[in-house]
Amino acid sequence: MRVSSLLALFRFGPHRLLQLVSHLPHFLKLFWRLLKDRRVSLWPKLLLILVLAYVIAPVDLLPDFLAALGQVDDLLVVFFGLQAFVRLCPQQIVREHVQAIAAGR
């Protein structure tokens, strides 16, 4: 993953962060639709399941008692994992689902 993606995450201002939160339901719909789509191969789906398992599992890369670092590693794993999931899915299928979500279907 590129460092620029990580820097963009930390450069969010209040307006951009609010915009991201407002789009969260659409992102969740997209992830769910891609997970159910039979045209998406098994590997991206396994990556998404592993990311979700990491969030649910009691094992952490950095223990949560280390100031805020324990939560930051969880956030980074989720951010990069979800980004990789969408990138591993065929772009035409992702575009199709994004257009359907935007149209309200």
DSSP calls for 39-69:
TS-HHHHHHHHHHHHHHHSS--SS-TTSTTH
pTM given for the model: 0.72
Average pLDDT over the chain, rounded to whole? 81
The predicted-structure confidence for 40-70, as pLDDT tens digits, reads as follows: 999 999 999 999 888 888 776 666 666 666 6
Look at the alpha carbons of 36, 34, 20, 2 in this order and tell me if their dihedral is positive or negative. positive
